[in-house]
Chains A and B, each alone.
Chain A
Amino acid sequence: MSTQAKTRLARPRLTRIWRAAALPLVLLAAWEASTRLGLVDPHQLPPLEDVVARGWSESRNGDFLTALAASLGRDLAGFAIGAAIGTASGLLLGFYRPAQSILGPTLRVHRQIALFAWVPLIAVWFGAGEPGKIAFIALAAFQPSLINTWRGVQEIPDRFHELAAVLTFSRLDFLRFVGIPAILPAIFTGLKAALIYAWQATIGAELFMTIAPGIGGVMMQGRQLFQMDLVLLTILLLGLVGAGFNTLAGLSETLLLRRRTS
């Protein structure tokens, strides 16, 4: 490829990176300028370098890592339980009509109850400690994985059913060769949503229930001690974890679904 063609290809990407960075850079500059000029209360918005220094020291003494590990462990435990039950129920409801008739309406109504409305009840039933938190996270992961799997089954095209009938597939074969592959994208959409919901719920559980090691705990501590730098750092951490989950989910989805597109 000639250099000319290369630059022509490279330029849009460079432009895009520049454009993506422009607004955050402007905001950071405004932040820095306003703290330097004393326009804002340093308690409300600490200088940028303080936040960076705090981040450096916190990550060096390992406190952030411990908190992050605690939150992630809780999150994944809840996610695994909730998503497994949710996906399995979605399959059951989709493929077994009596189950759908009996449980469907209840689950549809259950979905309307705001997730966090369960917190007090779960806190009483499971305790506000670790089991309660994990139960709540599991509940959060359960709903999207159930709904998406269920919908995925319902949306299998009729001609797939017809084809399976032509091929005299048994029920099991139908699941293996037609059903599961056809609904994999829907299951993944559900798992992805479940991952995000579970992360939301993890933060919620850590804010609502008893203080436990975790990012939520660090946030509350930062709030109570009025340490804005700590609070800002935890938000950054939350965002990074969220972005990490999204990237991970996207990657595994492309990997697992590659077969379909080929």
Chain B
Amino acid sequence: MARAPYFSSPSLQTLALQNPAALAADQHAALLLGGFHPVPTGDGLIAPQAKQGQDEDRVARVHDTGPGGAGTLDRINVAISNWVGDHGGRLLLGLSFPLLLFIVWQASSLYGWLPDQILPAPSLVWQTLQERIADGSLWDDASISLLRVLRGFTLGVGAGLLLGGLMAASRKLHDYLNPLFLAISQVPTLGWVPLLILLVGIDEGLKNILVALSVFIPVTLGTYQGIRDVPHGYREVGQVLTFGRAQMLRTIILPAAVPAIFTGLREGLSNGWQTLVAVELLASTEGLGYQMSYGRQLFQLELVIAAMLVIGLIGFVFDFLLGRIENHLQRWKVAA
């Protein structure tokens, strides 16, 4: 962990690395203001000693700003940070930027800065969304896309867990399979599109294979790394308890590998969703991606933006759901 070159004073460096407790906040705040008075201690380290009687107000300010100098900028930052500190303020600040964008967007359409073919009015997008929800076409497209991504995701996760598990289980298998896997993963997913169109046409098969492929790669990597990096001590515990293979896998290896596997799953799902949208843009007659390319051809950008909103919402929900599942599977960590 030692990052020696960044620190000019060797004594301070050892102090900080070996005795971080010595740098309690109040001490260094006092140090910062009162100057540094090195005092040799018994174990050869230099201990800082605070000068007494500091100005309370100034100490408090340093607490807030953390590192670095103190200036007007800091004071403004602290003021804003304090205000942000309460929950409502944070929410408001987070919303302020989208709100600003929205106001500019609204103003642009109100004053006709940009033609509707370039930037449709927010009201038009809203109206389109409402119409498409009302006549059910939005749900049709979304459900088609969702089904496709779930099919590809299931395939890709199955294959990825299998290959990742195999490669982690046996060094020999890893040596045989990994090079080809790496070679395949170097090709951008979309690069397979022309080949697959020639081989399987532009129907569901194309979408399933491409989504599965884009899911497969991160899931394989995550599974392999997750299982390989299970701390050796965990395995030893299992051996001491004379666990069988299945029990070892279920009670020790899989739970310990959950974070890495889930990183793979999350990336996989997000990749799969990306890929599906791309393939639907290229070759499809239904689905959200197709709606976008349709809207683009008709120069009805409100269709495009409405579809984008739904795509973003679905991506958000996917990520959220996987995050919840991961937390659920990691309860044991909290208890430990």
Interface residues, chain A, CB within 8 Å of chain B?
15-16, 19-24, 27, 44, 96-98, 101-106, 109-110, 112-121, 123-125, 159, 161-171, 173-174, 177-178, 181-182, 196, 199-200, 203-204, 207-208, 219-220, 222-223, 226, 228, 231-232, 234-235, 238-240, 242-243, 246, 259-260
Contact = CB atoms under 8 A, between A and B. Distances in A.
A208 B175 contact: no
Contacts of B301: 120-121, 124
Task: Decide if the interface of chain B is mainly helix, strand, loop or mixed.
Answer: helix
Interface string B23-36: 10100110110001
B180 interface: yes
B176 interface: yes
Contacts of B304: 120-121, 124
A204 B118 contact: no
15 contacts: A15-B175, A19-B176, A24-B179, A97-B84, A109-B312, A116-B281, A120-B295, A120-B296, A124-B301, A163-B7, A164-B67, A181-B5, A219-B193, A226-B198, A234-B191
B195 A103 contact: no
A167 B179 contact: no
Contact of A223 (B13, B23, B96, B198): B198
Contacts of A113: 308, 311-312, 315
A116 B93 contact: no
Contacts of B8: 167, 177
A101 B93 contact: yes
A207 B3 contact: no
**Chain B interface bracket (under 10, 10 to 19, 20 to 34, 35 or more):** 35 or more
Contacts of B126: none
Contacts of A124: 117-118, 296, 299, 301, 304
A162 B16 contact: yes
Nearest to B275: A116
Nearest to A230: B194
A96 B80 CA distance: 11
Contacts, number: 222
Contacts of A235: 187, 191-192, 195
Given A116-B277, A118-B308, A177-B6, 17 more contacts: A20-B178, A20-B179, A98-B81, A101-B90, A105-B98, A114-B270, A121-B308, A124-B304, A163-B7, A163-B16, A181-B6, A182-B3, A228-B198, A231-B198, A235-B195, A238-B188, A239-B184
A216 B299 CA distance: 25
Given A123-B296, A124-B301, A238-B188, A165 B282 contact: no
Given A200-B190, A208-B281, A234-B191, A19 B175 contact: yes
B95 interface: yes
B48 to A, nearest CB: 7
B242 interface: no
B312 A117 contact: yes
A239 B295 contact: no
